[in-house]
Amino acid sequence: MDHRRAVLASKIRAIGIAVSNRAMEFLDRWEADHIVAVPSHQFGSEAARLAGLCREDAIRAGITLVDLQRAAKGNLVQNMLDALEAATNRGNQ
């Protein structure tokens, strides 16, 4: 019985990793397609707007919101803020 539990736990971890990787790949691709430089005073509203759009697209792509949040390190809006800041900094170089 313990061996079966260990095997099952291993399979669950493997599935979780695959789902997480899929969500991370989705988020990376989504940001590359949607994030553009904006004036810094627009970061907050733009990050919230983008997070909402990303959630909608993730659901359509079969990504759970839990997995999307994990891919965003727990905070999708902050993740969008960071991406907007990076895009803006790249544009200012």
DSSP string, 45-65: HHHHHHHHHHHHHHHHTT--H
Q: How many CB atoms lie within 10 A of CB 67?
A: 20
State the pLDDT at residue 20: 75
Distance between CA atoms of residues 92 and 40, nearest Å: 12
Which residues are CB-contacts of 22 (< 8 A; sequence separation ≥ 6)?
A: 63, 67
> If you search the block for the tokens 């919101």, which residue do you land on?
65
Integer Cα distance of 7 and 27 in angstroms: 30
Closest CA to 58 of 17, 83, 81, 24: 24
**Lookup: tokens for 3:** 């061996």
Token readout for 61 is 């792509």
70 pLDDT above the threshold of 80? yes
More confidently predicted of 55 and 88: 55
**pLDDT at residue 79 is higher than 60:** yes
pLDDT of 1-54, one tens digit each?
455 555 444 544 554 555 578 899 999 999 999 999 999 999 999 999 999 999
